[in-house]
Amino acid sequence: MKKDEIIKQNLLFAPLSPNAVKFAKGVYNTHISHDEELSLEIKMSTIFKLLDLHPCIDSINDVRDILEELNEPLAVRNFEFNGEKIQLKFVQFCCYKIEKESVKIELSPEYLHVQRYYMLDSFLF
C-alpha cells in the first residue's frame, strides 16, 4: 500500500434517516445542476414537495431536524484536502439559514471531498 493512499472509512455514527438522505441527495443534485455552486438557496415549497411534507411550522421544524442530522460532524482520520494533511478532521455537511420562504445552504467542499474519497458509507454518490 502506498504511503499517501486513502483508506476508506465508515464515518457515520448511525445510519441517516430516509428523509435526511433524500434531502441531502436533493441538495447535492441542485449543487450539480448549478455548476457545482456551493452557495444555494432552495425554496421551502420545493423542500416540502421533496419530503412530502405539508407547509406548516411543524414541517419547518422537520427540515431543521433533518439539517441538524446531516450536520452531525464526521471524524475523518488522515485527512488530506488542498495539499493540507490533518491527522483528525471533523467535517459537517453545510452551514444553513432557514428563512421564511427558503433555506440558504453553504455546502462544505471538505464534506463533498470526504463523501467522494473517504467514506465507505457514502450516501451522495
**What is the total residue count of the chain?**
125
For 109, list phi and psi in degrees, rounded to 5.
-65, -30
For residue 52, is pLDDT > 90?
yes
Q: How far apart are CA 52 and CA 63, in angstroms?
A: 11
Q: Exposed (0-12), middle (13-18) or buried (19+): which is 107, by Cβ within 10 Å? A: buried
Using 50, 70 and 90 to split pLDDT, how confident is the model at 50?
Answer: very high
Share of the chain above pLDDT 90, in %: 90
**Cell matching residue 25:** 441527495
For residue 72, is pLDDT > 70?
yes
What's the predicted TM-score (pTM) here? Answer: 0.91
What is the end-to-end Cα distance of the chain in Å, rounded? Answer: 25
Contacts of 7 (CB under 8 A, 6+ apart): 78
Residue of higher predicted confidence among 45 and 6: 45
Helix (H, G, I), strand (E, B) or coil at 17: coil
Report the pLDDT value the prediction gives residue 7, as an integer from 0 to 100: 86
Using 50, 70 and 90 to split pLDDT, how confident is the model at 3?
Answer: low
Using 50, 70 and 90 to split pLDDT, how confident is the model at 1?
Answer: very low
**Cell matching residue 109:** 467542499
| Domain parsing of the chain, residue ranges | 18-117
Q: In this structure, which topology does domain 18-117 adopt according to CATH?
A: Arc Repressor Mutant, subunit A (1.10.10)
Using 50, 70 and 90 to split pLDDT, how confident is the model at 5?
Answer: confident
